[in-house]
Amino acid sequence: MAGIFHRDFQAKPYWWEAYQPTAQDPVEIPARARVAIVGGGYAGLSTALELARNGADCVVLEAAELGFGASTRNGGAVSGGVNIGKGFSGKKLDQDSSRAAAMLADGADAFGLIERLIAEEGIDCHWKKTGRFVGAWTPAHYAAQQKSVALLNGAAKSDAVMVPRARQREEIASDYYFGGMVVERAANLHPALYYKGLLDAARRRGVAVCVLANVEHVTPHDSGFLVRTTRGAVQADEVVIATNGYTGDLTPNLKRRVVPIASHIIATEDLPEDLARSLIPKQRTLSDTRRVLNYYRMSPDGKRMIFGGRPRFTQVDAKTSAPLLHRMMTDRFPQLRDARVTHAWTGNTAFTLDALPHMGRDDGMHYLLGCNGSGVAVMTYMGWQTARKILGLANQPSAFDSEEFPDHPLYSGNPWFLPALGSWYRLRDRLDRTIGNIGAV
Ligand SMILES: Cc1cc2nc3c(=O)[nH]c(=O)nc-3n(C[C@H](O)[C@H](O)[C@H](O)COP(=O)(O)OP(=O)(O)OC[C@H]3O[C@@H](n4cnc5c(N)ncnc54)[C@H](O)[C@@H]3O)c2cc1C
C-alpha cells in the first residue's frame, strides 16, 4: 500500500494549493460591535456578509487560521436538498412528514442563494453546474430513489431523473452501482476559493474578521453580551454561534446536540488525459446511497480524481485514511489502480440527532449548526437567514429554524462511541449489498 503515495505526498488539502488558511495580519478585536459571530467558516462569513450588506456592524471571531475548519477542506459538491435528512445512519428524510417539503424548498433556496452570491460578489471559484449522479448501492435503493424523484422535483426543484443500470456508463466509467439518480440542479466548486471569495467580500464591506481569537466565555452584559477571546473582549448586542463540527465547551448545551464526525479525502496525481476524461464523462459530482457514503469528482482542471468518504468516523492520520480511500476508489474504478495519491486530508462535519440542519436561539444566542455532511450551500444559507432574522428582514422563518433541537440523555458531547458506530454502519452497508444481490438474482 505504501506504493499508493506519490513521492511529493502531502497530508494537507489539495485545495490549499490555491488558498492556504492564514493567520497573517491579525485584525485587532473591536471593543464593540452590534453582532459578534463565533466561527469563521462559510456559516460565520455568510452571516457577516449579509449583516454588513445591510449596514450592521459585526465581528467574526475565529479560533484558528482563516479557513481552518471544514470550509476549505470539503469536496466542493453543491446540492440543493438531495441530502437533507440523511444522517450518519443513512436514515432518510421522512417524505410524508409535513416538514419535508418545507425543508426541501429551503434546500432549493440554498442552491439559488449560493449561485446568486457567487455571481453578485464575483467569486472566482470554478462554479460549474454540471449536476450530480447518486449511485444506487442495491436494487432496493434504486427503487427507493425512484420513489423520491417526485418530491425532489416538486419541493426542491431538483430536476432529478433515474438512470437505469443499462445506461449507467453514460454517467460513470464503472458498473459498480445498480443504476442511480441524476440531479441536474447540482454543482461543484473549488471550496477554498469559494471560502476566500466570501472572506474578501466580507472584508470589502468592512467586517472585522479576527484570526486566532478563540472565544472562551460569553456572559450577559448590559442588554447584550461580553464575548471574551484569547486576544481580547468585545461587547455585542447579539452573538451568533457558527462552530458546526468544531463546537466545543463554550456552548455545552449545543455541544451535546451535535456529533462531530470526520470526513476524509484523497487527491490523485494528474491522470493521463484520456483516462481522466473518461471517468465521469459529464463532469458531475458523484455520491451513493450507502449509509457510509463516498463522494467524488474530478478536480476543477479535470486532471485528478478527488475521492472522499468516511472510512473512519474520527480524525485519523492520512497514512491510515488514504489507503482505505484508495481501495474504495479502485473498487469503483479499477482503472485507477496505479494512480498515486498526492494529497490526503480530513475535517469535521456535524451531525444532529434528527439528521437535520438547525438554526435558532439558545441562552439568548443565535446558532446555526448541523450540516450533516452537506453544508456548502446549507450553511451559507443558514448564515444568510440568521442575518436576515437579526435584521428583522426575514419574510418568514426558515424551515431549519425550529425550537426542537433534539439531544439524548446518554450523549453529553463526547463522541467516544464513533469508532464502533462507524464499523457497525459499514457492516450494515456490506450486508445490504449481499442481501440486495441475492434478492436481485
Ligand atoms: C472532508 C469534508 C468533505 C465535505 N464535503 C462536502 C461536500 O462535498 N459538499 C458539501 O455541501 N459539504 C461538504 N462538507 C461539509 C461542509 O464542508 C461543511 O458543512 C461546512 O464547511 C461548514 O461550514 P461552517 O462554517 O458551519 O463550519 P467550519 O467551516 O467547520 O467552521 C467552523 C469554525 O468555528 C471555529 N470555532 C470553533 N469554536 C470556536 C471558538 N470557541 N471560538 C472561535 N472560533 C471557533 C473553528 O475553528 C472553525 O474554523 C464536507 C466536510 C468535510 C470535513
CA distance linking residue 146 with residue 182, whole number of Å: 11
Number of Cα atoms under 13 Å in the Cβ half of residue 423:
3
pLDDT per residue as tens digits for the range 309-325: 999 999 999 999 999 99
Check whether 438 has a pLDDT greater than 50. Answer: no
H helix or E strand, kind and range, residue 218: strand 215-221
CA of 193 to the centre of ligand 1 (A): 15
Mean pLDDT, the chain, rounded, equals 93
Sign of the four-CA dihedral 421, 70, 353, 161: negative
70 CB near ligand 1 (under 6 Å) = yes
Q: What is the pTM of this model?
A: 0.96
Pocket test for ligand 1, best of 71, 214, 292, 384 (most atoms within 8 A of CB): 71
Reference 159, options 83, 80, 76, 77; nearest CA is: 80
Taken as a whole, the chain contains a residue count of 441
Which of 79-83, 289-293, 417-421 has the lowest average pLDDT? 79-83
> For the stretch 188-216, what's the b/e string if a residue is b when 16 or more beta carbons lie within 10 angstroms of its beta carbon?
bbbbbbbbbbbbebbbebebbbbbbbebe
Grid coordinates given for 407: 439531544
CA of 7 to the centre of ligand 1 (A): 30
CA distance linking residue 56 with residue 140, whole number of Å: 51
CA distance linking residue 37 with residue 60, whole number of Å: 5
| Number of separate helices (H) and strands (E) present in the chain | 9, 19
Grid coordinates given for 248: 466545543
357 CB near ligand 1 (under 6 Å) = no
Backbone angles phi and psi of 126, in degrees to 5: 55, 40
Residue 112, SS3 per DSSP: helix
Q: In the structure, what pLDDT confidence band is assigned to residue 1 with cuts at 50, 70 and 90?
A: low
Higher pLDDT, 92 or 261: 261
Q: Which amino acid is at 202?
A: A
40 CB near ligand 1 (under 6 Å) = yes
Check whether 135 has a pLDDT greater than 90. Answer: yes
Give the residue-averaged pLDDT of 38-61: 98
**What beta strand segments (E) does 299-354 contain?**
305-309, 341-352
Number of Cα atoms under 13 Å in the Cβ half of residue 416:
4
The percent of residues in the chain predicted with pLDDT above 70, rounded, is 94
Grid coordinates given for 358: 438547525
The percent of residues in the chain predicted with pLDDT above 90, rounded, is 82
Check whether 75 has a pLDDT greater than 70. Answer: yes
The answer to whether the beta carbons of residues 105 and 128 sit under 8 Å apart is: no
Q: Given the CA of residue 79, which atom of ligand 1 is nearest to it? A: 11
Check whether 436 has a pLDDT greater than 80. Answer: no
Q: Which amino acid is at 30?
A: P
Give the residue-averaged pLDDT of 147-157: 88
Q: Given the CA of residue 245, which atom of ligand 1 is nearest to it? A: 30
Ramachandran area for residue 361 (φ above 0: left; ψ -120 to 50: alpha; else beta): beta
**pLDDT, position 95:** 61
Check whether 230 has a pLDDT greater than 80. Answer: yes
What torsion, rounded to 10 degrees, do the Cα atoms 299, 292, 9, 306 define? -10
Pocket test for ligand 1, best of 113, 310, 349, 351 (most atoms within 8 A of CB): 349
Strand 341-352 to 5-10 pairing: parallel
Which of 24-33, 89-98, 104-113, 233-242 has the lowest average pLDDT? 89-98
**pLDDT, position 439:** 40
Reference 192, options 357, 71, 103; nearest CA is: 71
Check whether 440 has a pLDDT greater than 50. Answer: no
Check whether 86 has a pLDDT greater than 70. Answer: no
Which of 86-95, 102-111, 166-175, 397-406 has the lowest average pLDDT? 86-95
**pLDDT, position 90:** 53
CA distance linking residue 178 with residue 180, whole number of Å: 7
Ramachandran area for residue 67 (φ above 0: left; ψ -120 to 50: alpha; else beta): left
Pocket test for ligand 1, best of 247, 374, 400 (most atoms within 8 A of CB): 374
**pLDDT, position 387:** 98
Q: Given the CA of residue 46, which atom of ligand 1 is nearest to it? A: 25
**pLDDT, position 88:** 54
The answer to whether the beta carbons of residues 199 and 24 sit under 8 Å apart is: no
Check whether 190 has a pLDDT greater than 90. Answer: yes
CA of 347 to the centre of ligand 1 (A): 8
CA of 321 to the centre of ligand 1 (A): 19
CA distance linking residue 140 with residue 204, whole number of Å: 50
Partner residues linked to 352 by β-bridges: 258
Q: In the structure, what pLDDT confidence band is assigned to residue 151 with cuts at 50, 70 and 90?
A: confident
What torsion, rounded to 10 degrees, do the Cα atoms 88, 435, 139, 262 define? 20
Grid coordinates given for 81: 436538498
CA distance linking residue 241 with residue 52, whole number of Å: 17
**pLDDT, position 97:** 66
CA distance linking residue 190 with residue 267, whole number of Å: 13
pLDDT per residue as tens digits for the range 192-217: 999 999 999 999 999 999 999 999 99
CA of 77 to the centre of ligand 1 (A): 14
Backbone angles phi and psi of 259, in degrees to 5: -110, 115
371 CB near ligand 1 (under 6 Å) = yes
Residue that the C-alpha cell 447518486 belongs to: 134
The answer to whether the beta carbons of residues 29 and 231 sit under 8 Å apart is: yes
Hey, how many other C-beta atoms are within 10 angstroms of the C-beta on 364? 11
pLDDT per residue as tens digits for the range 358-409: 999 999 999 999 999 999 999 999 999 999 999 999 888 899 998 889 999 9
